[in-house]
Structure 1
Amino acid sequence: MGLEGKHSFGSIGETRVTFVEKKINENRKDFLKRLLEHNGFEVIIQEEKRKSEEDPQLYTVAVTDMVFNPTVWVFQRKLKTFDGHKVTQDYWNQVSEDTNPHYWKFAD
């Protein structure tokens, strides 16, 4: 799912939530859960229904903060990494652990 401009919300069980990402694998779920909890959010995980036992288990990650929008928080640099740096788009998408704020690369 990645970062989208749209604020997606709904319910998981009886709890109103903001959806962070849907239909993601376990590794991505664990990363987002740890990162969001580190930043003070209450995280709710829901397992997606599988069509068969052979299909991989996918998850939905959500937070109870109804005004949280991942895109806004990443680009306004409000989220912190585990070592105190600001989360960049590449860090959020697990493309790079580099937290340098440049969103483009210059040729040498």
Structure 2
Amino acid sequence: MALSGKHTFGSIGETRVTFVEKGVDENRCDFLKRLLEHNGLEVIIDEDKRKTEEEPQLYTVAVTSMVFNPTIWVFERKLKTFDGHKVTQDYWNQKTEKTHPQYWNNGKK
């Protein structure tokens, strides 16, 4: 799921949450959970309902912080990777583990 800028929130069980991503596979769910917990956020994972048993299990990832907005936190460089660098858009989207270049590309390599 791409960073959209829209701040979506609701409830999981009786806990008010900010939704980070919905309908993600187990690999993406684990990555987001580890990254967000590393940055001090409390993460709640909810299994999405499946229509049939053959469908893959998908998950909703949310945090208890009502001010967290993934787009803002990524582009304002508020999140840190596991080795202390700042999270970029490509890192967030799991396109690369490199943290350079930043989200802007001025043609320099």
Q: Indicate whether the TM-score tops 0.5.
A: yes
Gap regions ≥5 residues in structure 2: none
How much does 1:106 deviate?
Answer: 2.6
Taking only aligned residues, the RMSD between alpha carbons, in angstroms, comes to 1.4
Gap regions ≥5 residues in structure 1: none
1:106 equivalenced with 2:96 (yes/no): no
Equivalent positions of 1:29-48 (< 5 A) are 29-48=29-48
Q: Which residue of 2 aligns with 1:90?
A: 90
Task: Give the number of equivalent residue pairs.
Answer: 108
TM-score, scaled relative to structure 1? 0.95
Give percent identity, aligned residues only.
75
How much does 1:2 deviate?
Answer: 2.2
Q: Which residue of 2 aligns with 1:5?
A: 5
Report runs of 4+ in structure 1 exceeding 3 Å deviation.
Answer: none
Q: Quick check: 2:81–2:87 contact (8 Å CA) kept in 1?
A: yes
User: Residues 60, 102 of structure 1: CA spacing in aligned structure 2 closer, same or farther, 3 A cutoff?
Assistant: closer
Matched residue SS, 2:4: coil
TM-score, scaled relative to structure 2? 0.94
How much does 1:9 deviate?
Answer: 0.2
